[in-house]
Structure 1
């Protein structure tokens, strides 16, 4: 009798079909020569990351940069209504492409344009286009809840962008590659679903982070697997899914984070048999409860049916005042109520801290609060910069060494730069 194969498609992609906008290999030359005669739109590095995201189906059912009706639904309702059956899918961040007046003039009344990457290579074609006004203030206010100066994504990607948005159907000429030694980690939603099937997963729980993994994170992930086993699942698989697109300047760079994550698996802090480490290609907005919906929705498309949400997800300090920009608990509350995310199981983050009695990371016990030491990301970075070791048991030694070397190289660069400028 044939053995039953467990399918990881435990959760349907939004719109029921996983979007794949990459042109088949046998049509690429034809499409490339067609693109030569079109008006060109120059992409920034962040625009290219969004092309990557859309092309692989992370934003399913979106099939291109948003037209005005999709943009308005996303901006005002954090969701899109499907035209075929009226169902709602979550879409909390506008995924749009900005152009300036000169580019709009060149496009004229054309119906399609070629998208050109930062290296001037033709990346994609955008068809059945629609151009509409880019009201930056409204976009910023509704996405972040503030227009205070100093929001990283705003300063990098919105303020300098053009006053028009262009939407349409995307055809991507070949898979987006970065040639940075990390492309093998950039698994598409389709590839992830295939890997979950290969491992015969009967539950997939996703954890996104943009920081190094310490033993508190590992405790949370291992505890989540145990809880799923206790619920009767036979083979829950962890998708450890660090964000790989744009991040703010003081975040640890992707290559350093990936090296650190590798050490965590090598040191056995997480089990390589039940963990998949892959890069999520989305840029980071730092837009709190609005953005965390996007992070959760994208993992639905990758096949995850459980999502771990932490304290203050996608949050940051207020850019001009000494306080958090968002209420740290609102992210998990919003996820449990968000339209279009009903089919995803939300797992609230259990707070872990360093237990000074047990000398290890443990779940915080309010009854003996004085025994716990909270080591923030800022404090961790200070330890690494100064060469001071964190308490034994905070992070695996191999992972900590990666961070110490990174900050030592940063200080050497800063010293060299100070000498040159002097």
Structure 2
């Protein structure tokens, strides 16, 4: 059976159709907080239970507890703040107070209602230091924190409208993946997080894990990324061809996670595991330097942090160093292959990107030619 949702119950904050028209009419008279597309996606994630047990943006006690202990105030594991930042000037201009109900608006359209439970200040430097282990503005996550507005607004949300989703055909909500996994007869499901087009190293990790479970849930992050990352549509098309040509039918499912990468390393690894647990995964693949960027985290720090969460409710599957071995004629890892030196070719995402940027096909021991062909069919496969 799929894993139980985090906290025991799958959150649903989507307004029923019979109430929707009435609430949309009422929203016309409410104060309106304009939110970004990225924040609007997070509202949807809350509403559909992707972030269960959260029912809205964090209030002060949960926010502080997550920073200090990596747990919610009720002691449930949670490592990344899910917060709504608003400027004090905007709050005063709109005369928003605790206890009010406000409309969350994207591009002029009401997306959700929010009950303002708490308005509070926060320390950006502390936020960055706790979550990212650095205050270096070269870190993309830190940079975003320091660009946040000066107040956080916490409270439950109710979703009235969904924002535009260019990847609707790849979108499944947790309630849908859980039904699908049951229909496929999967009792054990391993989740795979990615922000890259697949190379052979990824395929090796996925298929190794798939040896021990019933199904594989490939769940790419689709949303704002840093310069040089693969574009969303490239990732999806590359995985489509890989699954079609190299995976057994009914053993792998591809669906997206709409959010942005935070590059928080170990904390984000736990967060990613919790999200996949909400989709129904019983296991989660954690590779080397999961969700890392630059050299801010130790190579296996994102694996070591799982020791602090024996009550996580999803089983991590760790992969250490793996590579292509010329003598073994395939992908292996350091636990089974005796060869070293020139005999091994580590999968280098950087090298693969460089070759693709030059319009070249990476060697077959690095990437499937069908995958490379799909990537090279795009004029601009990488984020500018």
Alpha-carbon deviation of 1:128? 4.1
Matching residue of 2:100: 111
Which of 172, 192, 200 aligns to 1:187? It is 172
What residue in structure 2 maps to residue 418 of structure 1? none
What does the per-residue CA deviation read over 1:142-164, in whole Å, with 9 as the maximum and x for residues that have no partner? 11111011221333x43332100
Match of 1:361 in 2: 331
Whole-Å separation in 1 of the counterparts to 2:202 and 2:86: 41
Which residue does 2:277 correspond to in 1?
300
What SS does structure 2 have at the residue aligned with 1:273? coil
Aligned partners of 1:337 and 1:46: how far apart in 2? 30
**Distance between the aligned counterparts of 1:195 and 1:173, measured in 2?**
25
Residue 250 (1) aligns with residue 244 (2):
no
Shift of 1:366: 5.5
Q: For the structure 1 residues 115 and 188, does the alpha-carbon distance in structure 2 shift closer, same or farther, using more than 3 Å as the test? A: same
* TM-aligned CA distance change 1:314 to 1:366, over 3 Å: same
Do the aligned residues in 2 keep the contact of 1:113 with 1:127 (CA within 8 Å)? yes
| Partner residue in 1 for 2:127 | 139
**Is 1:403 aligned with 2:375?**
yes
* 1:68-88 deviation digits (Å, cap 9, x = unpaired): 111111111111143xxxxx3
SS of the residue 1:240 aligns to: strand
Q: How much does 1:337 deviate?
A: 2.5
Structure-2 separation of matches of 1:334 and 1:220: 20
The aligned residue for residue 68 of structure 2 is 76
| 1:276 corresponds to 2:264 | no
Residue in 1 aligned with 2:306? 335
Coordinate RMSD, CA, aligned:
1.9
Distance 1:97 1:44, change over 3 A: same
Distance 1:35 1:104, change over 3 A: same
Of 259, 265, 271, the match for 2:243? 265
CA distance in 1, matches of 2:311, 2:232: 30
Displacement, 1:177? 4.2
**d(CA) in 2 for partners of 1:127 and 1:347?**
39
Determine which of 4, 9, 25 is the counterpart of 1:17: 9
Between the aligned partners of 2:14 and 2:105, the Cα distance in structure 1 is 15
Number of residues paired by the alignment? Answer: 380
2:215 is aligned to 237
Q: Deviations over 1:333-377 (max 9, x none)?
A: 112322641x21111115331223355433345521121111311
Match of 1:386 among 358, 363, 381: 358
Distance apart, 1:282 and its partner CA: 2.4
Q: What residue is the counterpart of 1:178 in the other structure?
A: 164
CA separation in 2, counterparts of 1:340 and 1:178? Answer: 36
CA separation in 1, counterparts of 2:359 and 2:260? Answer: 31
CA–CA distance in 1 between the matches of 2:265 and 2:67?
15
Structure 1: state its 5+ residue gaps: 1-7, 83-87, 229-235, 318-323, 415-422
1:129 offset after TM fit, Å? 2.6
Contact 1:361 1:394 in 2 (8 A): no
Distance 1:167 1:347 in 2: 34
Contact persistence 2:112–2:159 (CA under 8 A): yes
Deviation at 1:394, TM superposition (A): 2.4
CA 81–361 in structure 1, closer or farther in 2 if over 3 Å, else same = same
SS at match of 2:135: coil
Query: Quick one: distance in 2 between partners of 1:336 and 1:245?
Result: 30
Contact 1:23–1:173 (8 Å) recurs in 2: yes
Q: Label 1:241 to 1:378 Cα distance change in 2 as closer, same or farther (>3 A).
A: same
Q: Given the alignment of the two structures, is residue 127 of structure 1 paired with residue 115 of structure 2, yes or no?
A: yes
2:38 is paired with a residue whose SS is helix
In the TM superposition, residue 89 of structure 1 has moved relative to its aligned partner by 1.7
Larger displacement relative to structure 2 (17-26 or 367-376): 367-376
Against the structure 1 CA distance between its residues 356 and 283, is the aligned structure 2 distance closer, same or farther, given a 3 Å change threshold? same
Q: How far has the Cα of 1:410 moved from its partner?
A: 6.2
Is 1:314 the counterpart of 2:314? The answer is: no
Give TM-score scaled by structure 2 length.
0.94
> How much does 1:299 deviate?
1.1
